Chain A
């Protein structure tokens, strides 16, 4: 069983949703990202989603765009990020870790080479937000050979047929986009989240699959985490953490604020018995 399957299984046994913080690698440096990952794990994060900064992130709102710009301005490279992953993997052998990367970074390195290098560094799965399953054949073949997962996204606009198609191609988990829009903190969850996730669950089952559902986009507060935990198997928090990290008087204070936020969210992810 791979790390994501084990991670979701452990959380299920412990009666809670898995908490997966997102951070942009290299924002504002790889050293800070490494410290953030340490803090997140210490605070109770179950899994990590690490973003490769990209010049033109179409699925991202202002917060993640700015994080990517800071990272690129600092000179962060894909090789540098794989180095970070190797260090994190050495320190946390069981931590499920997904890489969020826009397709052009994969294509440019070569699908096969990117996937092999990611797997060798210790990445468990690739989330490619601009790669729908119809275009994903090459990456998926390479990933299957390298023994890592390709994680597809489903959106509130996805038709039942598309959800089944995505389910049939998915292995580790399905990334459910909570809203019709780009990433970024929101004050409220989508009112139709419950119905959307029920639809996804139904179609995943209809595709003959049993897959954990992780929900991301717009999840900003412990109350959101508590609510999503009742509906899904995993909760992804990105922009709210980045806002918190950069919203304090200095980055040391930002790191501590993130630690507190993740602790609060981890407690909120516990399902009422």
Chain B
């Protein structure tokens, strides 16, 4: 399946809707990435770092008790939570930091929601001795205090963003404004398959190691491809990463799980399920907006999914019907969080918990004899305090 019509487009989606001041830098980045992509030494170095530094390949783990609970298809977990720094975000951070070094950039900026991308970026900057500034919404700083501290330990400067909803969207705005101002010296390390071309393609390429491994692992372990692959979708990088190598396998259902927040008729972050086409952060995709094109504030229990847009390739996969997109609520995500913790002894990130709870449902529907892979994009240590509060267990002088 060919997804690109003109460079940077997936069907009608994508593009680069950015201020002129950035265009030359984006041209430079596009050329540098094309060159690196074609350079076997770059690819070798990338793979070597993924192995030696992040611990890849990550296991494809058969979750027997979860399978039993689901009472249907066999459930496998792609253990991205076992990566260094605890989430899939490091794959992309390693890829882009190698590119930034290749381009001779000394200052790195990033946006972060849950803090996983911020931590991954701060980590690779520490490793290579590069200056790192991470923009993070004040609301996210509040709910992800542990990751803020990790970034600071790693030597990054965390700049709080007080505008708009004070979450990922606004952190991204502020990172782009920083880039506009320091474009000649600065590399913008975007954390998802969003933003202007070439980011959606580049980030997907770096993350597609997840799907390549998972595809080979399931063939080895089960001797056949899965019936479904399930992943959570905020901006959509872990989903694109695991979906992409399965695109040409028509028998494999690709299911993206968005955040329905308090419910799809109330506050949510389900851009594909309930959004309309529009431009946010430089590309045309599905976004949450009003009739005048003003961006609507999203809501999700999980900071990493709390974003009013989604990568343009997902918009294309939705329209073409190759992938399906559903949404689960905060409450259901919390159930998924507890379910995986109690049945498998694995505490998932709240983001990944959306995929877990829906993956269990899919396994039930498919029934015995089927195979479902859930992308466990990150671990939940960062969310434990928030969940404790939500469950009301921090009251009464608990320490």
Contact = CB atoms under 8 A, between A and B. Distances in A.
Interface string B142-170: 00000000000000000000011000010
B183 interface: yes
B287 to A, nearest CB: 8
Nearest to B282: A130
A184 B291 CA distance: 29
Most chain A C-beta atoms within 10 Å of own C-beta, residue among B173, B180, B181: B180
A104 B20 contact: no
A177 B19 CA distance: 10
B163 A65 contact: yes
Interface in A147-161: 152-159
Contact of A130 (B19, B25, B163, B289): B19
A29 interface: no
Contacts of A108: 276, 278, 289, 291-293
Given A54-B294, A162-B23, A59 B289 contact: no
A37 B281 CA distance: 31
A155 B17 CA distance: 15
A182 B180 contact: yes
B180 A78 contact: no
Interface in B167-209: 169, 173, 176-177, 180-181, 183-184
A8 to B, nearest CB: 21
Interface residue tally of chain A, by bracket?
A: 35 or more
Interface string A37-69: 000000000000000001110110100010001
Interface string A117-159: 0000000000001111011000000000000000011111111
Contacts of B20: 132, 152-155, 157-158, 162, 166, 177
A77 interface: yes
Contact of A132 (B16, B173, B177, B184): B16
B169 A56 contact: yes
Contact of A77 (B21, B22, B279, B292): B292
A180 interface: yes
A107 B180 contact: no
Interface residues of B, number: 36
Contacts of B183: 157, 180
A129 B163 CA distance: 20
B129 interface: no
B280 A56 contact: yes
Interface in B1-48: 15-25
Contact of A162 (B24, B164, B280): B24
Interface in B256-305: 276-282, 284, 287, 289, 291-295
Contacts of A61: 177
Most chain A C-beta atoms within 10 Å of own C-beta, residue among B17, B24, B177: B17
A162 B21 CA distance: 11
A162 B19 CA distance: 13
A264 interface: no
A33 to B, nearest CB: 17
Nearest to B23: A132
A182 B177 contact: yes
A180 B292 contact: no
A104 B280 contact: yes
Contacts of A103: 17, 279
B280 A180 contact: no
Nearest to A136: B17
A20 B279 CA distance: 28
5 contacts: A56-B281, A58-B177, A78-B292, A158-B20, A180-B21
Given A107-B293, A157-B24, 14 more contacts: A56-B164, A58-B18, A103-B17, A106-B293, A107-B278, A107-B279, A109-B293, A130-B279, A131-B17, A154-B20, A156-B21, A157-B21, A158-B21, A180-B184
Interface of B: 15-25, 163-164, 169, 173, 176-177, 180-181, 183-184, 276-282, 284, 287, 289, 291-295
